[in-house]
Structure 1
Amino acid sequence: MTDDITTRIRAIIAEQAMLDPDQITDQATPADLGIDSLGLVESIFAIEEEFDISIPFNANEPEKSEFDISNMGTIIAAVHRLVADKAG
């Protein structure tokens, strides 16, 4: 599934991980991509800015967040939902 939102998210994550966007697979975890917790927070901020959304993310208690950051596929799916919710 490649669309504009997915492409833009992969580009943001790739920039943070210093990788080519084609290397960002749905199964890859942030750790797999070499993204530490600070890098993940920076990526989240960049995604929020790119799509003008607010991501319900609590780095201290990720199990309490509705935004699943376990892998790129779940991050992309969650952003799709937030963008759709914003569009109404």
Structure 2
Amino acid sequence: MSGNVRDQVIDIIAEQAVLEPSDVSDTATLEELGIDSLGLVESIFAIEEAFDISVPFNANDPSESEFDISSVASIVKAVEKLVAEQKG
């Protein structure tokens, strides 16, 4: 896997938001970046493919999922956790 998880996740989110990766801050929400529900789904598919992981199907419902999509940093943290579990 090239680059670190954070950089790859930010690249995916930036592409979906049609922004430069440098314009995506850790504290930004997907909504603030202009990513709608379809963009969220496409981002999740891209993340799953990039990291060879499976994001829980209920990731968009925080009360039902440990995969937190409330900010860019929380998405990075959730992806890092799934990647670690996959390797475990």
TM-score by length of 1: 0.90
Give matches, 1:44-83, under 5 Å.
Answer: 44-58=44-58, 61-83=61-83
Cα drift, residue 80 of structure 1: 0.4
Matched to 1:50, the amino acid is: A
Identity %: 59
Structure 1: state its 5+ residue gaps: none
Give 1:1-88 correspondences, 5 Å limit.
4-58=4-58, 61-88=61-88
CA contact (8 A) 1:68 1:74 kept: yes
Unaligned runs of 5+ in 2: none
The number of residue pairs the alignment matches comes to 86
Q: Give distance in 1, aligned partners of 2:26 and 2:76.
A: 8
Seen in structure 2, the aligned counterparts of structure 1 residues 59 and 87 have a Cα distance that, compared at 3 Å, is: closer
Root mean square deviation of aligned Cα: 1.4
Q: Letter of the aligned partner of 1:20 in structure 2?
A: E
Write the distance in 2 (CA, Å) between the matches of 1:84 and 1:59: 18
AA of the residue aligned to 2:58: N
Q: What TM-score do the two structures reach when normalised by structure 2?
A: 0.90
Q: CA offsets per residue over residues 16-39 of structure 1, 9 Å max, x none?
A: 000000111111000000000110
Q: CA deviation at 1:61?
A: 3.6
